[in-house]
Structure 1
Amino acid sequence: MVHRLASAALALLLLASLAVAEEPRRLPPPNKASVVDDAVTPTVYQPLFGVACEPGDDPLTPRYEVGAVFDKGVFIRGVDPQRDPYSLYVGARLQLRHTGFTRTADEWTDSAGNTREVRNRNNFDAERVRINFQGTAVDPNLSYYFILDGDSDGQSNVDMLFYAFTYKFDDALQLRVGRWKAASDREWLVSSRFLTLADRSMATEYFRSGITDGLWLLGDLGDGWRYEASLSNGLRSSTRRGFEYDDNLGVAATIYHDPLGDFGPDLIDYACSPAPLVRYGASAAFDKTDDRSDAGFPLGDNNFVTISDGTQLSEVGALGPGARVVSDRIMKASLDFGMKYRGWFMSSEWFFRSIQDISATAPIFVSQIDDHGYRLDTGVFIVPKRLDVIGRVSHVSGPFGDSYEYAAGSNYYWGSGTTDGKLNDRISKLTFDVTYVDGSPVTSPLNDMVAGDRGVLFRTQVQIGF
């Protein structure tokens, strides 16, 4: 009898345990409080079993969430940034471009006496194929940003275009360490996602700084004032090895003011501003290169510099028969002004550059080269947030000649990305432009110009980003 009662009790206990095991675990609903501005509500993942590591911890309380945000990509991040200051956003962007060029001159002769053919072109290429990684780590005020970049011009190689850590002490002071743009020239500092036409102007490509390694200070000073300054290996040094440098550093700084309200990240008036917006600013940069010809590096960081007819400064014979420039000092500055109102926009910039203290391996006929130039872009949305028309002119002038660019084009914004429920996809677009080039002073794979070009350039580009 005792055995039968024990067996019955054991059977009842087993049935009860099975009933409990089959009952589903109820998890708390996803946390939506931290994603008010997200285009896609994130999904919260919580393991079925958890252990409270500290007094008061609830093993069923979500600590991390995953989802997607327009213009930043997919993410995983801590629900409470103060407790779990780790986040990772992964995004991507692709520019596919067709370029056609019809020449109006057969050849050009540079300052070194070399005659080169001006060639017609007709090709497809991938201009920017990028994957972005950004987020926070260790401390909620410490952010990171990495960009992997590949394109057809780079022989389909993928490289680390940018990498940086930024610590925010407060709004007025942030410190960035890594590889970034030297802090000079307004159109250059605008992200290539938001350019007015297929790429930057001829004048910007001639005068601009580049990507380099170093330190940056930046911040918001209040009342619409923002600044950025860099101390780096040079003005354009990201492709050089450490032992190729001399013992000089490049310095650059920019400042701008938005007196009537936030001007926004781009130059066009995508938001159709109901009241006028204005931005004005200034940039300056200095770089010094010393003779390292004894180590096999004749011009250090400044191999990218060209003079106003398109001749590379480091080319033998550019400034005198048989002479190769081995050292110089570069000072440059720019002033910029832009405005937006009801779909209309205007963006302008004036450039000045002085190359001084030039030394070479043989006598040269100049000791200082002063160049100046400008760019002007203007346009209007004829269909709000969908279709615009834009015109551009830019000019480069120097002792070796003058160059002009005249362009017109249009952007169709076909994306559907939103912020706060409102259409805000300034990235996904189809661009077509036509440019007349009268003597390009620079070779730039980015804007499809070759030094000495005279003719008509056609570009059609589709850009996709998330």
Structure 2
Amino acid sequence: MFDVSSHPDPRPISATRISSRLFSIFLLPLIGGGVVRGEEPPSVLPLPLTSKDSAEKPATALDVDERFRLLESRLNELEHVNENLRDENRRLAEQVGRPQSQEAVESVRDADPDGWAPEEFNPTYVAPAPWHPRFDEGFVLLEPDAIAGQPFQLKVNVVSQFRYTNLSPGRKTWTDAAGTTRPIAERSDFEIQRNYLALKGFAFDPRLQFNATLLGSSAANKVAWFGWINYEFSKRFNLFGGFWKLPGSREWYESYTATQGVDRTMATTFFRPNMTGGVWATGELFKDFHYVAKIGNALNSSPLNASRKGFGMAYSGTVWWEPLGSFGPGFSDLEYHDKLAVRIGTSQTTARDDRQLDPAQAFPENTQTRLSDGTPVFETGALAPGVTLLRQTSMTSAFDLGFKWRGLSLTGEYYLRWLGDFQANGRIPFDTLYDNGGYIQAAGFLVPRKYELFVRSSYVSGRFGTGHEVGGGLNWFVYQNRNVRGTFEVLQILHSPADNILTGYRAGETGTLIQAQVITIF
């Protein structure tokens, strides 16, 4: 043993000081054993003096202090390494965002059976991944998780259309085909024209999809549901069942959020079919050739739905070809095609209409079948004095053509409609009615993907009169996409035959229509 008192260091070495440092020597292997496997072990630490060492070279108090200082330094290094490892594990856990795999769970179970869960624990259960909602063309609330065995997806979209409408009538009244004189009202109002809340996704199989949408409108003071379920067999064949549009017009089948102006044109509002329950299929038969085909209850079945009478159905379909590549959605060249993009299409609709289904408008998007002056065709006296139409057959054909190139666009659609096979409570002086009409619109970006000027015009002509509109405006794509768009438009209207509560058109309307709106898509 060495003699501490013989060392010239004047500092006393207390028993407590020596015992605490000796304790740290024995604690060191325990701390060092906590290093994660695969890490480089620390260098060999100086060992404490043994009796043999003391015999060969007497140790001094200074030697002991130096060794203790080295030990403390090594302990500090180990603590720093362990802290770094804990931080790294935490970062990895956050990146993975899910529980460890079942193999890792079983490994821990084998390594530490005494510290494992109670016997009733089900080893096949894997906790769901942490909830991390995100935005991807909608708010993604639930995502599929193969590890957790969760084959579901749920996405939410909120679409709002806020509009100011001002109509300065060019005349005070108009007279319909039945001889009824009706007022043309001035308008100046703010409305939420459309507010959509859509839930969509898939369940059990990514091909088994659903859509459930709530539509609200302060203009119509109505709330309505629509939606569908569908199974995507392939790119060529996707089968749907539910309540949705009859695809009888290109501008109608395109989303209202992608129109050139504030809303669809007067001609489209007049000729287009409506929404109805039914089954339909969509697909791309071959490259850039698309189709939609639907069998529905009627042109407008929403008022009575299951209470409707008869076996008459509505049949509607549309096809379009994009021979030079993708045309893109809507009518504005927001994608700024470097090469000319062309879309050629046609839409056909036929239906047997009953009077019971037409007058009521329980669904805000739907319209009534009207004569070319705006008179509802089923109104008593519309086709002949004192005569009420009970049933008819309608056929509508539409042909569309569109071009896009470097921010410029030119689109149009031509409509033909026949009404016939009348059944009424009296004599009608003609067997068929023929109407035609169409629209044309052109646009160009002042600043690519930002500010777009447009002009457009449409007309409707038939046995009972002719109506038309002409005007233009400005689109502002706030974030250079369709998610937020502002539109200002001025239209001059003469004898509107179209009428729909969600548009600026009212039957018989003549005057200047000024509209400004903002659409948001989240």
The two structures share one fold, judged by TM-score above 0.5: yes
Q: Structure 1 residue aligned with 2:424, among 343, 347, 360? A: 360
Deviation at 1:67, TM superposition (A): 2.9
Instruction: Tell me which moved more, 354-363 or 80-89.
Output: 80-89
Distance 1:164 1:211 in 2: 12
Deviation at 1:91, TM superposition (A): 1.5
Instruction: Tell me which moved more, 361-370 or 337-346.
Output: 361-370
Say if 2:312 is the partner of 1:256. no
Alignment partner, residue 321 of structure 1: 385
**TM-score, normalisation: structure 2:** 0.75
Conserved 8 A contact 1:299-1:325 = no
Alignment partner, residue 459 of structure 1: 515
Alignment partner, residue 462 of structure 2: 398
The aligned runs of 1:362-377 (5 Å cut-off) are 362-377=426-441
**Aligned CA distance change for structure 1 residues 347 and 335 (closer, same or farther; 3 Å):** same
Which structure has the greater CA radius of gyration? 2
- Residue 153 of structure 1: SS of its match in structure 2? coil
Distance 1:51 1:178 in 2: 45
Deviation at 1:325, TM superposition (A): 0.4
Say if 2:445 is the partner of 1:389. no
Amino acid at match of 1:153: A
Deviations 1:103-161 (A, max 9, x none): 11121100000011112111111101111111111111111112111111221x3220x
> Which structure features the higher share of helix residues?
2
Distance 1:114 1:346 in 2: 40
- Residue 331 of structure 1: SS of its match in structure 2? strand
Say if 2:471 is the partner of 1:407. yes
Say if 2:214 is the partner of 1:158. no
Alignment partner, residue 447 of structure 1: 503
Amino acid at match of 1:242: A
Conserved 8 A contact 1:431-1:462 = yes
Say if 2:89 is the partner of 1:28. no
Conserved 8 A contact 2:337-2:407 = yes
**Aligned CA distance change for structure 1 residues 269 and 145 (closer, same or farther; 3 Å):** same
Q: Structure 1 residue aligned with 2:176, among 95, 110, 131? A: 110
**TM-score, normalisation: structure 1:** 0.84
Alignment partner, residue 241 of structure 1: 305
Equivalent residues, number:
421
The gaps in structure 1 that reach 5 residues or longer are 1-11, 32-43, 416-422
Deviation at 1:45, TM superposition (A): 5.8
Instruction: Tell me which moved more, 445-454 or 272-281.
Output: 445-454
**Aligned CA distance change for structure 1 residues 434 and 46 (closer, same or farther; 3 Å):** farther
Alignment partner, residue 78 of structure 1: 144
> Which structure features the higher share of strand residues?
1
Deviation at 1:244, TM superposition (A): 2.4
The gaps in structure 2 that reach 5 residues or longer are 1-26, 35-82, 107-121
Alignment partner, residue 145 of structure 1: 211
Alignment partner, residue 489 of structure 2: 433
Q: CA RMSD in A?
A: 3.0
Deviation at 1:211, TM superposition (A): 0.7
Deviations 1:18-47 (A, max 9, x none): x9xx9898563446xxxxxxxxxxxx4659
Say if 2:331 is the partner of 1:273. no
Amino acid at match of 1:306: R
Alignment partner, residue 164 of structure 2: 98
Deviation at 1:252, TM superposition (A): 0.4
Deviation at 1:321, TM superposition (A): 1.0
- Residue 329 of structure 2: SS of its match in structure 1? coil
- Residue 257 of structure 2: SS of its match in structure 1? helix
Conserved 8 A contact 1:290-1:300 = no
Distance 2:509 2:487 in 1: 22
Alignment partner, residue 135 of structure 1: 201
Instruction: Tell me which moved more, 72-81 or 232-241.
Output: 72-81
